[in-house]
């Protein structure tokens, strides 16, 4: 049910997302990722982190296969499958640990948190 709601929300909100994503900071995304946030905010949070995380993890997998990509920027190496909830929790924990970075763009916070949690060798 949550996946259907998430997909419906993303399809309806797609025209709005680029404008919204440009002004998102670590702090605004953190608020949207709170378990007490409205469901639409939580869906946005999960979609945002899922997209960034998938790219990082895919780059990490490809870097392990192709030696030329090992130095590529934006890699994360999971070792095992990672659940989306784990990526969201890693982001939440990272924000609490780094309150001085709350004004950064949200994407920088998400990428940094995921790369720190699942670094590539």
Residue whose C-alpha is closest to residue 31's, from 101, 102, 97: 102
- For the chain, give the mean pLDDT: 76
**CA-closest candidate to residue 119, choices 78, 64, 59, 58:** 78
How many CB atoms are closer than 10 A to CB 69?
14
pLDDT tens by residue, 2-45: 445 444 444 444 444 444 545 689 999 999 999 999 999 999 99
Predicted TM-score (pTM) of this structure = 0.71
State mean pLDDT over 53-78: 62
pLDDT of res. 51: 87
Q: How far apart are CA 59 and CA 74, in angstroms?
A: 7
């Amino acid at each position: 049910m949550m996946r259907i709601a998430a997909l419906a929300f993303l399809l309806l909100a797609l025209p709005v997302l680029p404008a919204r994503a440009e002004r998102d900071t670590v702090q605004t995304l953190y608020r949207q990722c709170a378990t007490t946030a409205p469901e639409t905010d939580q869906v946005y949070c999960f979609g945002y982190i899922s997209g960034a995380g998938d790219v990082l993890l895919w780059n990490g997998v490809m870097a392990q296969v192709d030696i030329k990509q090992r130095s590529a920027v934006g890699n994360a190496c999971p070792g095992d499958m990672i659940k989306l909830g784990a990526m969201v929790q890693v982001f939440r924990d990272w924000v609490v640990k780094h309150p001085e970075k709350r004004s950064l763009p949200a994407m920088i916070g998400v990428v940094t948190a995921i790369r720190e949690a699942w670094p590539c060798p």
